[in-house]
């Protein structure tokens, strides 16, 4: 194994690709919880340490297997951390819409969201994607009961994505991002920090 | 044409089926706006008056073509009308969750929602389904700017459906309906009647 830092050198392309293929197949067949780095390594014919070296943790490998155009954690965690819980909804929505409104990123994001409707993918999202992404964001916010509150946030944000980008329902499809932020921030802020039943 | 009232006698099964096949194909190919009763009648080899007789308006035909297990208008309009705008969110959510939590109806509803993710279906939803359903509900509520407010309601309700029923994300998947109503009613009520930017 070389001494290069993770992410600097992508590693041998064939080995990386083989690990990703094995990871996708494992995650799809056994779900997020049922997949181990060790099993992926065995499937790919490499050592587990090499998987760690190239991809990091199981969460990192999972996000790499999804081939997202951006790492949602790297994007959302700093956005919500700077400033604490107050105003977090506004920062979260602004960051989120900035990514989705980016014409370079939007096609890949749309493809991924469409794929989520497949029943097999649903389990990966509920067991894998949401905890992997929402967990660190909830932690960074320092809110109480993040495991209860973050899914509420996701339910509004996913619905907005669905209507604005996939179904292109007006007036949401053409609404300026600032107006969307002002419209949805009170909802998201209540889910993050308000009283809930 | 017989003298029976619409909906009483289903009509000759073959003719009805031919009209539905023609309607589905027309709506899929030309969208909601680009489809006329006349064109559907021509495709089915029947008179336009017969299509009206069997199915009613274009909106009725559209909903019949979707083969929903319930007519969402017949369900939602009375629920929100009785009592005016105050408390409308609670009534709307209670009615809505009652249908979705019904084990007889849920499988068909899930199939329909999964189908919506197809890009061709997206146009039918944004041009057809949402206006056909949300229009009468907004009217029944007597709210201002229903064409602006009802899509906000839809964005939260669709997101909840997605997480609770399709992705089965906890705690939403197992949450009692009453707790969901109490959690989401303030959001929906603000979208219906609150101040918006």
pLDDT at res. B11: 59
Please provide the distance, in angstroms rounded to a whole number, between the alpha carbons at the two ends of chain B: 53
Q: How buried is A35 (Cβ within 10 angstroms: 0-12 exposed, 13-18 middle, 19+ buried)?
A: buried
Residue B5: inside a domain: no
Mean of all residue pLDDT scores within chain B: 87
Same domain, A82 and A167: yes
Average pLDDT over residues B35-59: 95
d(CA B157, CA B103): 19
- Contact between B171 and A151 under an 8 Å Cβ cutoff? The reply is yes
pLDDT at res. A10: 53
Closest chain B C-alpha to A39 CA, distance in angstroms: 25
Residue B1: inside a domain: no
Give the end of a domain, one of A66, A90, A111: A66
Give the end of a domain, one of A49, A66, A83: A66
Range of lowest pLDDT (A101-105, B4-8, B183-187): B4-8
Residue B108: helix, strand or coil by DSSP?
Answer: helix
Altogether, the residues listed in chain A come to a count of 197
Same domain, B19 and B39: yes
Tell me if chain B has a CB within 8 Å of the CB of A15.
Answer: no
pLDDT at res. B10: 53
CATH of residue A167: 1.10.357.10
Residue A142: helix, strand or coil by DSSP?
Answer: coil
Same domain, B58 and B77: no
Same domain, B108 and B167: yes
Q: Provide the residue range defining the domain that includes B165.
A: 72-193
- Decide if pLDDT at B84 tops 80: no
pLDDT at res. A165: 93
Average pLDDT over residues A6-34: 80
Q: Which of B34, B33, B51 is nearest to B42 (CA)?
A: B51
Residue B4: inside a domain: no
Tell me if chain B has a CB within 8 Å of the CB of A120.
Answer: no
Same domain, B86 and B152: yes
Tell me if chain A has a CB within 8 Å of the CB of B171.
Answer: yes
List pLDDT tens digits, range B143-182: 899 999 999 999 999 999 999 999 899 999 999 999 999 9
- Most confidently modeled of A135-144, B127-136, B153-162? B153-162
Interacting residues of B11 by C-beta distance below 8 A, sequence separation 6+ = B53, B54
pLDDT at res. A97: 95
A3: tokens are 């001494």
A6: tokens are 């993770």
Residue B106: inside a domain: yes
Same domain, A186 and A109: yes
d(CA A44, CA A63): 18
Residue A95: inside a domain: yes
Average pLDDT over residues A87-93: 92
**Partner residue facing A156 (CB), from B122, B156, B171:** B156
Contacts of B154 in chain A (CB under 8 A): 159, 163, 169
Average pLDDT over residues A121-130: 80
pLDDT at res. A140: 86
Tell me if chain A has a CB within 8 Å of the CB of B154.
Answer: yes
d(CA B160, CA B15): 39
CATH of residue B34: 1.10.10.60
- Test A167 with B196 for CB contact under 8 angstroms: no
pLDDT at res. B164: 95
- Test B126 with A190 for CB contact under 8 angstroms: no
Binning pLDDT at 50, 70 and 90, where does residue A7 land? very low
d(CA B166, CA B161): 7
d(CA A150, CA B166): 17
pLDDT at res. A5: 46
Same domain, B51 and B96: no
- Contact between A117 and B117 under an 8 Å Cβ cutoff? The reply is yes
Range of lowest pLDDT (A26-30, B32-36, B77-81, B95-99): B77-81
Residue of B115, B120, B169, B182 for testing the chain A interface, max A β-carbons within 10 Å:
B169
Same domain, B62 and B82: no
Same domain, A128 and A46: no
Residue A2: inside a domain: no
Residue B6: inside a domain: no
Same domain, A18 and A87: no
Average pLDDT over residues A15-32: 90
Q: Which of A77, A76, A71, A78 is nearest to A56 (CA)?
A: A71
Residue A121: helix, strand or coil by DSSP?
Answer: helix
Same domain, B184 and B160: yes
Enter the ipTM: 0.84
Range of lowest pLDDT (A74-83, A89-98, B17-26, B132-141): A74-83
Residue B90: inside a domain: yes
Radius of gyration of chain B measured on its C-alpha atoms: 18
Q: How many separate domains does chain B show?
A: 2
Same domain, B33 and B120: no
Give the residue with greater pLDDT, B138 vs B42: B42
Tell me if chain B has a CB within 8 Å of the CB of A153.
Answer: no
Give the end of a domain, one of A66, A81, A96: A66
- Residue the block writes with tokens 């909106």: B59
pLDDT at res. A1: 41
- Decide if pLDDT at A189 tops 70: yes
d(CA A43, CA B131): 50
pLDDT at res. B43: 96
pLDDT at res. A11: 59
């Amino acid at each position: 194994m070389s001494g290069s830092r993770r992410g600097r050198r992508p590693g041998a392309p064939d080995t990386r690709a083989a690990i990703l293929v094995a990871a996708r197949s494992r995650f799809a067949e056994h779900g997020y919880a049922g997949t181990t780095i060790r099993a992926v390594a065995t499937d790919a014919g490499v050592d587990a340490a090499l998987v760690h070296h190239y991809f990091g943790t199981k969460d990192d490998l999972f996000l790499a297997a999804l081939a997202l155009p951006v790492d949602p954690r790297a994007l959302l965690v700093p956005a919500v951390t700077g400033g604490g819980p107050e105003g977090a909804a506004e920062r979260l929505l602004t960051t989120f819409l900035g990514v989705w409104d980016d014409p370079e990123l939007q096609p890949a994001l749309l493809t991924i969201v469409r794929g989520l409707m497949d029943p097999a993918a649903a389990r990966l999202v509920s067991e894998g994607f949401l905890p992997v992404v929402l967990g660190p964001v909830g932690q960074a916010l320092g809110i109480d009961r993040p495991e209860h509150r973050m899914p509420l946030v996701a339910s509004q944000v996913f619905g907005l994505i669905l209507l604005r980008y996939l179904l292109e329902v007006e007036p949401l499809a053409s609404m300026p991002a600032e107006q969307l932020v002002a419209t949805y921030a009170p909802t998201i802020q209540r889910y993050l920090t308000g009283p809930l039943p």
